[in-house]
Amino acid sequence: MFAPTDEAFAAAGEADPEGMAEMMADPTGDFAGLLSYHVVEGQLAPDELAGEHMTLQGSTLTVEGRGESFTVNGSAMVVCGDIHTDNATVYLIDEVLHP
């Protein structure tokens, strides 16, 4: 899972306040698609992170980098990663991704 930080959501809201507010008002519509674009199946370890990954939304995203320096789709930086939960490995990113 690539989870945008609070700051990333705030910046997305500042860039398009009406669009983001409309999207968040209907959590089953476009917002659900946006969120599912941030999720890939499985638990990716850092050594499996680089490459193309199919999202639950149905599109692919591309991760580049190695070690502790990764970008998603060429611009979102992974700011913290390899956070293990019961059903996911979470990587915090500094942007909201768009399919």
Q: Is residue 99 part of a domain?
A: no
Comparison of pLDDT for 64 and 26, the residue scoring more: 64
Q: How many CB atoms lie within 10 A of CB 49?
A: 21
Q: Is residue 98 part of a domain?
A: no
Residue 17 scores a pLDDT above 70: no
Residue 19: the pLDDT is 66
Q: Is residue 19 part of a domain?
A: yes
- Strands of the sheet containing 76-84, edge to edge, are 2-4, 89-93, 76-84, 69-72, 60-66, 51-54
Number of structural domains in the chain: 1
Q: Is residue 53 part of a domain?
A: yes
Query: What CATH number did the domain enclosing 41 receive?
Result: 2.30.180.10
pTM value? 0.85
Residue 45 scores a pLDDT above 70: yes
Residue 78 scores a pLDDT above 80: yes
